[in-house]
Amino acid sequence: MSEHNQFTMQDPRYQYPPGDTGKNSNQPDPALDRKLSPAAEHGDKIYKGNGRLKGRKALITGGDSGIGRAVAIAYCREGADVVINYLPSEEEDAHSLIKLLTDEGQKIKGIPGDIKEEGFCQKLVNEAADFLEGIDILVNNAGKQQHQDSFDKLTSEQFRTTFETNIFSMFYITKAAVKFMPPGATIINSTSIQSYQPSAGLLDYASTKGAITAFTHGLAKLLIDKGIRVNGVAPGPIWTPIQQSGGQPAKKLDGFGEHVPMGRPGQPVELAPAYVFLASQESSYMTAEIIGVTGGEHLP
């Protein structure tokens, strides 16, 4: 991993090495960042904040690992108080993140639970709002991705569960959170390059990401009357535990992400600035937009 901070000019092709992403490809779903090999870069040591979110109150789903973890680190270092949600089986990753950030001057809390359940989503938002004394940033980031190499192998149960995790929960959580959100608040949804360029083996996942993109566009038009902005981020191939827990077939893990013009997978820390920008007042004239962070696999 790079020893530079995020402000040092570098050749982006080599800022993070491709690495041997074929190792340890049999993690169970959901997987842990601690077991990811090679390790991902979340910005633990290199992300330096500038007070861009001072005084803000953020709820991040899927905040224990991957992109959500990088966003939680960035938000805390930019001055926000943060609540992360995660599955109980991901407690180890969540605990390590909370331990990392506890002494950095911001409030941070983890709330475990399954966001497929509408009742839990309402409980999560209420507990987060109580801890934070409000919510003015919501990052809908948690997601399920399981590759199936043939249509016959894609079961009704997997299709339903992927939709429940990726898009139904986004509706439940957002509906519960909006009542706490003042004018100037922001919602940021994690969609994907799969929304625009779906892979054959990710039919259910890509379908949910298409729904998230449309949900983002439509919700933005509904909520701007309340002064709430809604935008999204569409990652390309990013090195996270989801890839090693069935998100990609084992044969595709070796050389994962090297097909994009930049020639390597992205690291979670490389997504964090987009989420910071969309949460901050710097993006005040942006709503119903999707920012692509794809290594050159551009959005249409």
Can you count the helices (H) and strands (E) in the chain? Answer: 9, 7
Spatial neighbors of 131 by CB under 8 A, at least 6 apart, are 83, 107, 109
Q: Average per-residue pLDDT in the chain? A: 92
Residue with more model confidence, 139 or 17: 139
Report the sign of the C-alpha dihedral through residues 188, 192, 195, 200, in that order: negative
* Contact between 266 and 67 (Cβ < 8 Å): no
Segment 232-261 mean pLDDT: 80
Residue 183 pLDDT exceeds 70: yes
Q: Listing from the earlier edge strand, what are the strands of the sheet with 137-140?
A: 108-112, 81-86, 57-61, 137-140, 186-190, 229-235, 290-293
The amino acid sitting at 286 is M
pLDDT at position 18: 73
Q: Where in the sequence numbering do the catalytic residues fall?
A: 205
**What are the boundaries of each domain within the chain?**
51-293
Q: What is the 3-state secondary structure (H, E, C) of 270-298?
A: HCHHHHHHHHCHHHCCCCCCEEEECCCCC
Structure tokens at 276: 């910071």
Q: Which CATH superfamily is domain 51-293 in?
A: NAD(P)-binding Rossmann-like Domain (3.40.50.720)
88, 93, 96, 102 alpha-carbon torsion, rounded to 10°: -60
Cα–Cα distance, 162 to 208 (Å, whole number): 7
Answer whether 0.85 is exceeded by the pTM.
yes
Q: How confident is the model at residue 2 (pLDDT cuts 50, 70, 90)?
A: very low
Per-residue pLDDT tens digits for 220-245:
999 999 999 999 999 999 998 866 65
Please report, rounded to a whole number, the percentage of residues in the chain having pLDDT higher than 90. 80
Per-residue pLDDT tens digits for 24-50:
556 656 667 777 878 889 999 999 999
